[in-house]
Amino acid sequence: MRESLKNKQLRMQRIITTLYETYPNSKCSLEHRSPFQLLISTMLSAQCTDDRVNKVTPDLFKHYPTAQSMASAPVEHLAELVRSTGFFNSKSKNMSACAQTLMQEHQGEVPADLDALVKLPGVGRKTANVVLGTGFHIPGLVVDTHVIRIANLLRMTNQKDAVKIEVELQPIIEKEHWVMFTHLIIDHGRAVCIARRPQCHDCVLAEFCPSVLPEEAINRKK
């Protein structure tokens, strides 16, 4: 039987409360000192771990800390600095083009607007929502691979498309929790609900999760 929106909202409230208690220090793991640096770091995180990005960005931002400095940087040097993040040629070109667009159209400042952000080279909806939520404290739901997978396991959605999932989750999650929800889910996905080996027997969300493995649920009660 299909679960009502009201029941999903109530179940989600309990899920979020539990996650806050379990991961009280949850936050964006990308290190940055400005919305611009967060924007670039998020672009670099595509197909790459946040840990790897954090190892690359100190040297990158030492050379090019602002849109103005990056806009005039040789693309070859940008590529060299971000090589270990993968897809470095396309990432360096996007970083350069993005910085130049910021200088030409936004006086070197990152716009605090979703529509303006997604028009920047190399910036999709996910990156834009990261910048809005963490950089400007404007509510936005970031749907990354952890959110796609765990939202499906929790039966909050049966969609696989990130934008469709974002739209479906918005009425389920209270707006004040939109930004933190993603950070909490990422922490839980890394620690317990691991893609290839979910630890259902140690999962604090087991009682709220329709996908918990029966044998794991039995072990949890022992």
pLDDT per residue as tens, the chain (222 positions): 789 999 999 999 999 999 999 999 999 999 999 999 999 999 999 999 999 999 999 999 999 999 999 999 999 999 999 999 999 999 999 999 999 999 999 999 999 999 999 999 999 999 999 999 999 999 999 999 999 999 999 999 999 999 999 999 999 999 999 999 999 999 999 999 999 999 999 999 999 999 986 654 434 444
Tell me what pLDDT residue 222 has: 42
Q: What SS3 state is found at 97?
A: helix
Q: What burial letters (b/e) apply to 30-51, b meaning 16+ CB within 10 Å? A: bebeebbbbbbbbbbbbebebe
The identity of residue 59, as a single letter, is D
Q: Which domain holds residue 149?
A: 5-26+142-221
Are 22 and 40 contained in the same domain?
no
Please say which residue of 83, 108, 136 terminates a domain: 136
Are 76 and 108 contained in the same domain?
yes
- Domain CATH for 162: 1.10.1670.10
Are 78 and 12 contained in the same domain?
no
**pTM for the whole thing?**
0.89
Task: Tell me the C-alpha distance between 129 and 146, whole Å.
Answer: 15
Are 128 and 146 contained in the same domain?
no
How many domains, in total, are found in the chain?
2
Crossing angle for the helix pair 35-44 and 50-63, to the nearest 10 degrees: 130
175 is catalytic: no
**Which one from 50, 93, 113, 144 is the annotated catalytic residue?**
144
Are 176 and 104 contained in the same domain?
no
Are 40 and 88 contained in the same domain?
yes
Task: Tell me the C-alpha distance between 140 and 28, whole Å.
Answer: 13
Are 44 and 124 contained in the same domain?
yes
- Domain CATH for 83: 1.10.340.30
Tell me what pLDDT residue 55 has: 97
- In 3D space, the residue among 43, 214, 5, 34 whose CA is nearest the CA of residue 128 turns out to be 43
Are 161 and 88 contained in the same domain?
no
**Which one from 8, 91, 126, 187 is the annotated catalytic residue?**
126
Tell me what pLDDT residue 214 has: 66
Task: Tell me the C-alpha distance between 175 and 191, whole Å.
Answer: 25
- Report residue 13 as tokens: 């409230």
Are 131 and 51 contained in the same domain?
yes
Tell me what pLDDT residue 215 has: 59
115 is catalytic: no
Are 47 and 119 contained in the same domain?
yes
- Report residue 220 as tokens: 């949890």
Are 127 and 39 contained in the same domain?
yes
State the Rg of the chain over Cα.
19
- Residue 206 CA: distances (Å) to CA of 13, 92, 153: 15, 42, 11
